[in-house]
Structure formats: structure tokens, C-alpha cells
Structure 1
């Protein structure tokens, strides 16, 4: 009898878990970099370069553009492709020739690139 009660409880919890629906957020859109390794922008790298802003755009055709602006007034642009599945994102950066991972939770996109954790907020 105890096994039946445990089974009924487990089935009940499973049913509740499948009934719950979380709002679905589309990965496509524009994101602004908020933090690098937990530090708010502007962020100064160990070589003295200061990053003042970064805008990441994920397009519906699977391409991305990432525009970084620096304290010296210069900017750089990275372009590439991305794929997304269940909140996990793989970025194939054609400018730098690297692949890196990211994730989307609600409106917060997190990337891990060359040892740096970058946290973006969807605009």
C-alpha cells in the first residue's frame, strides 16, 4: 500500500510538472552586455583595454552581429552564425574563427568566451 501511495504521489507531481507552462522567449533580438565576470561595464581588461558597451543582435536567419565599443573611441564588429536548442546557444564566430557556448534564461543571455562570462540583457 505504501508503494502505491508513493507511486500516486510521483505521478501527481509529474502531472503538475507537465501542466506548468513557462513563457517562451524567442532567442532572436537585440541584447546589451551588462557584465563581464560579474563586473558591470565599463570593463577594463588586464591589457588596459576598456570595453564601454557591446550590442549583440541575433537575427531570425541564424546569423549574429556583435558590435563592441571601447574607451578609446574605437569599435569592433564580430559576425557569425548561431544555433539554438532548448535555451542552449552555440555561436560560430566567423570573424575570430572560434566557437563558443551560451544560454538564454528568460531575457538574460549568458556567453562563455575565452574564459570570460558575459551577461547580456535583451532589449
Structure 2
């Protein structure tokens, strides 16, 4: 992976629950930070094909390894290029420890 492969501005968002004024909790996403990221869309494999048939596109998001990026958790989402992606796992460092890789899955922007 090269830094030039990070070609998408990514909004990293965390789900925050707030009171709606009527005693109900409502979850909404708030941006925590922005960074450049690169997507590698997965192909093949039974699980990947099953997800694609269900209109979900799994991908690996690569970000620079920073203190902020290491706080990303599965209840977060990423918005990039007009698409939203659910974070499916904790970030994993690459072998050279310069980048983090995160399994994400495309979802509807309101999802």
C-alpha cells in the first residue's frame, strides 16, 4: 500500500444516542474525524458472493495508522464518495504498521 492509494476523503462517524425530548433514545451518526482512505472491494468467496446478492458490498478500507483511526469500532460508519459503509471489525495494522485495514460493508446512506 502506498499513501497515493488513499484517494477518498472519508468521514468517520460514530453512532451517538440522544433523547428525542419524549423520553425515547434515538441513534444518529456524528462525524468524529476525516481522513484519506482507500477501498479494495472484495470479490469471490461464498460469503462475499452471498453479501453481494443481498445488495451489500464488502470492502477493505485502508487508513493511515493514527491514534484517531485506532479508536474506530464496529458501531461506527464511514461515508465516502456519497456512499455509507458499516464498520464490521476493529482496525487491523498492516505488516509494516503504517496503515490500518478495516472490513466495511456498503449500506444505504440512511442505514
Fold equivalence (TM over 0.5):
no
Give the alignment's TM-score, normalised by structure 1: 0.28
Asked which structure has the greater RCO (Cα within 8 Å, sep 6+), the reply is: 2
Give the alignment's TM-score, normalised by structure 2: 0.30
The structure whose Rg is larger is: 1
